[in-house]
Amino acid sequence: MLFKKALSLRIEELCSARKITVNKLAEMSTIPPSTLRDIVNCNVENPSSTVIYQVCKTLKISLKQFYDSELFDNLED
């Protein structure tokens, strides 16, 4: 799996677990909705680590918890 796809699925997974939409996450985190939507739609090759950090901060999880998912195992180049 490509990294950008793993990021997309992880954000969707975390939103689903908290019963919020991606747009709600954007609103809560002050990340522009278009930015988060582009990441979830795999339109961003290399999302900013600051955006991922803001997602984690908003969801009250660590970066380690964000990346501690099988989605990030065996990534393709």
Domains and CATH numbers, the chain: 3-72 (1.10.260.40)
Mean pLDDT over 42-55 rounds to: 94
Q: How far, rounded to the nearest angstrom, does the alpha carbon of residue 52 sit from its chain's CA centroid?
A: 6
Contacts with 71 (C-beta within 8 Å, 6 or more apart), sequence order: 1, 6, 9, 10, 13
pTM, full prediction: 0.93
Q: For residue 45, what pLDDT is reported?
A: 86
Spatial distance between the Cα atoms of 39 and 52, rounded to a whole number of angstroms: 10
